[in-house]
Amino acid sequence: MAPPGQPDDARPLVALRAVGRDFDVSRPWLNRMLEHAPRQLLRAVDDFSAEVRRSETLALVGESGCGKSTVARLIVGLFPPSRGRIEFDGTPQTAAAEGLWSDAVRRRMQMIFQDPYASLNPRWRVMDIVAEPLRAHGLMTRRADLRARVFELLTQVGLAPADGDKYPHEFSGGQRQRISIARALSSAPEFLVCDEPTSALDVSVQAQILNLMRALQEKLGLTYLFISHNLAVVSQMATRVGVMYLGRLVELADAATLFSRPRHPYTRMLLDAIPDLEMSGRARTPVAGEVANPLDPPPGCAFHPRCPLANQRCRIERPQLKAEPDSTLVACHAAEEGRIPA
């Protein structure tokens, strides 16, 4: 293994080791005292281990509340993990008081958010929005240099240099997301965390942004963590896909394998629920039930109340991620026991 700081293609860019994150959702102190209510913890993410390899797109999918956005926020260091540890290119996160990531690491990762209306300061010109990371990291101070760099970035994402003098409200949703991407790229990061980057966009605009993200990835050798609830978008973008359910990873596989041979019954259910655009008239299994309350997850496998293959073991014993012969990781007793129909 190469020492930290030196590039090594074999070493994952980001590694999460048994990471967990709890949120305190207890009622206020006075209520707890009066009503003798206990503290209540929400396990947003639990025992999450995965690696993001260089230049790949690792996608995380799952329904709302499954913890995929929490994973994204843990990686960029918006809050510290409650358990486990996270490494970036071999460098571990530091104590929360010091800002989780050192400056050197922080400029190598950036984030793109879902809502391009909320993530751009309406009172700032595009010029200043895009230049902000350069200023914050002290990478560039001369005004002329900043202008030149911002023009280059705007051109790179398909906007005109003159757009730098405008305000965010003068742009459509798709153009705003281009501004977010330009801002994320300004510190020349290697790693972008994209949290539902196209979910707020119309489908024709979504195609423009997804194509732009792919082109930039090829040109700049970027590594993406791509969070989405839309499996078709994920299929378009991902190298590997992780499926999450109630805070845990239930399946992790190469994108091609996951979509052609899904193993976990939850993955199968998600794939089956995608509306059939081809109108092939395929019979679909009706989806049963809803995601359980994360404050009170079912014992054993959290998916068992909705699973057509659940048996006594699934109700008691929580399945661990195990590697299949083709190195797909699945956390499912039925898969392990060969009870899953092909």
Partner 1 sequence: MDARGTALLEVRNLRVEFPTRRGTLVAVDDVSFDIAPGEVLGVVGESGAGKSLTGMAIIGLLEPPGRIGAGQVLLEGRRIDNLRRESLRQIRGRRIGAIFQDPLTSLDPLYTVGRQITETIQAHLPVSRREARERAIALLSEVGIPAPERRLDHYPHQFSGGMRQRVVIALALCAQPKLIIADEPTTALDVSTQSQIITLLQRLSREHHAAVMLITHDMGVIAETAHRVAVMYAGRIAEIGPVRSIIHSPRHPYTAGLMRSIPRVGATGVRLAQIDGAMPRLDAIPRGCAFHPRCPQRFEPCDRERPPLLETGDQRAACWLHGAPRTA
Note whether 283 binds partner 1 by CB under 8 A: no
Binders of partner 1 among residues 222 to 251 (CB under 8 A) are 229-233, 235-236, 238
How far, in Å, CA of 292 to CA of 297, rounded?
A: 6
In the list 211, 311, 312, 327, the residue contacting partner 1 (rule: CB under 8 A) is: 211
Note whether 134 binds partner 1 by CB under 8 A: no
Note whether 284 binds partner 1 by CB under 8 A: yes
Note whether 325 binds partner 1 by CB under 8 A: no
**Which secondary-structure segment (H or E) carries 41?**
strand 41-52
> Total residues contacting partner 1 (rule CB under 8 A)?
44
Residue 32, C-beta contacts closer than 8 angstroms, at least 6 positions apart: 26, 38, 39
Region of residue 100 (phi > 0: left; psi between -120 and 50: alpha; otherwise: beta): left
In the list 22, 63, 115, 336, the residue contacting partner 1 (rule: CB under 8 A) is: 63
Note whether 276 binds partner 1 by CB under 8 A: yes
The stretch among 79-87, 109-117, 256-264, 312-320 that binds partner 1 (CB under 8 A) is 256-264
Q: How far is the CB of 251 from partner 1 (least distance, A)?
A: 15
How far, in Å, CA of 323 to CA of 309, rounded?
A: 20
How far, in Å, CA of 141 to CA of 156, rounded?
A: 21
Look at the alpha carbons of 290, 296, 302, 307 in this order and tell me if their dihedral is positive or negative: negative
In the list 277, 283, 325, 338, the residue contacting partner 1 (rule: CB under 8 A) is: 277
Residue 302: Cβ-neighbour burial (10 angstroms; 0-12, 13-18, 19+): buried
Binding site for partner 1 (CB under 8 A): 63-64, 172-175, 202-208, 210-211, 214, 229-233, 235-236, 238, 255-256, 259-260, 269-279, 284, 286-287, 290-291
